[in-house]
Amino acid sequence: MSIFDLAKVPLRELNAALHSLPPSTNETHWVVTNPGGKHAIACGVDAPITIDIEGHVGYYCGGMNKEATIVVSGNAGVGVAENMMSGEVRVKGDASQAAGATGRGGLLVIDGNASARCGISMKGIDIVVKGSIGPMSAFMAQAGNLVVLGDAGDALGDSIYEARLFVRGSVAGLGADCIEKEMSAEDKSILKSLLKRADLNESISPDDFKMFGSARRLYHFHIDNVDAY
């Protein structure tokens, strides 16, 4: 196990060590202590390793993650798991704005709440938020799944494409071209799988959720919809 104390070692040294790992590395468990809210911790990791971060992190922790499992035992700043490709990022506390933004794959789990624009422009990532999310979440979400056990803020799914949004609580308001949809058997199967991957109690049923997605009215310009653009 490799241990980096960021109170003693520069962050640049940690990230350089992580970036130098070959795909076949046997250094599979890393521990980061005293992160102190520093930005860009464990960004751009491209190896099947586990990184335990013991404390709060700043902006863009786990950004561009590929294959790694990153666990933050604290809160996360703006853009946690931004542009993630694969692997997992788990935040044991709350997350600030733009969690999982532009993510193309992998799983992001937030045990607490997420602020505004969670999942903005998501492109295939799966996001599970065990608390609530702020306004403008899943703005221009193109693909992937966003699961929210709590409530959703205003303008959910504004200008959404083909992502699925599952919300168990209330929704303050829907954005342009976002509507509630009936869940198919496939949708319920996807949701059930995500709940299990997020280590949630089996008593939480997909039937407790509502699903939202694109009405597909804005895919092609039409003069009658000009006010919605």
What pLDDT score does 226 carry?
A: 61
Number of domains into which the chain is organized? 1
CA 128 to chain centre: 7
Domain range for residue 216?
Answer: 2-228
Instruction: Kindly report, residue by residue over 5-64, the tens digit of the pLDDT.
Output: 999 999 999 999 999 999 899 999 999 999 999 999 999 999 999 999 999 999 999 999
End-to-end CA distance of the chain: 52
Give the type of residue at 39. Answer: H
What does the mean pLDDT of the chain come to? 95
The torsion angle over the Cα atoms of residues 114, 117, 118 and 124, rounded to 10 degrees, is 180
With beta carbons less than 8 A apart as the criterion, state whether 33 and 54 touch.
yes
Give the type of residue at 3. Answer: I
What pLDDT score does 223 carry?
A: 57
Is the pLDDT at 202 greater than 90? The verdict is no
Residue 17's contacts (CB-CB under 8 Å, 6 or more residues apart) are 2, 4
Other CB atoms within 10 A of residue 111 CB: 17
Of 106, 65, 59, whose CA–CA distance to 80 is shortest?
Answer: 59
Mean pLDDT of the 123-130 span: 98
Q: Is the pTM of this model over 0.85?
A: yes
- What CATH code is carried by the domain that includes residue 185? 2.160.20.60
What pLDDT score does 203 carry?
A: 85
Q: What is the 3-state secondary structure (H, E, C) of 199-229?
A: CCCCCCCHHHCEEEEECCCCCCCCHHHHHHC
Confidence class for position 201, pLDDT limits 50, 70, 90: confident
Is the pLDDT at 165 greater than 80? The verdict is yes
Mean pLDDT of the 129-156 span: 98
Whole-angstrom Cα distance, residue 147 to residue 11? 32
Task: Dig out the tokens for 208 from the structure.
Answer: 């407790």
Confidence class for position 1, pLDDT limits 50, 70, 90: confident
Mean pLDDT of the 114-129 span: 98
Whole-angstrom Cα distance, residue 208 to residue 168? 6
Confidence class for position 174, pLDDT limits 50, 70, 90: very high
Of 76, 185, 99, 219, whose CA–CA distance to 147 is shortest?
Answer: 99
Is the pLDDT at 142 greater than 60? The verdict is yes
What pLDDT score does 17 carry?
A: 97
With beta carbons less than 8 A apart as the criterion, state whether 89 and 110 touch.
no
CA 68 to chain centre: 14
Mean pLDDT of the 138-162 span: 97
Instruction: Kindly report, residue by residue over 22-36, the tens digit of the pLDDT.
Output: 989 999 999 999 999
CA separation, residue 155 to residues 130, 136, 152 (Å): 20, 5, 9
Task: Dig out the tokens for 81 from the structure.
Answer: 């798991």
Confidence class for position 217, pLDDT limits 50, 70, 90: confident
Whole-angstrom Cα distance, residue 143 to residue 122? 6
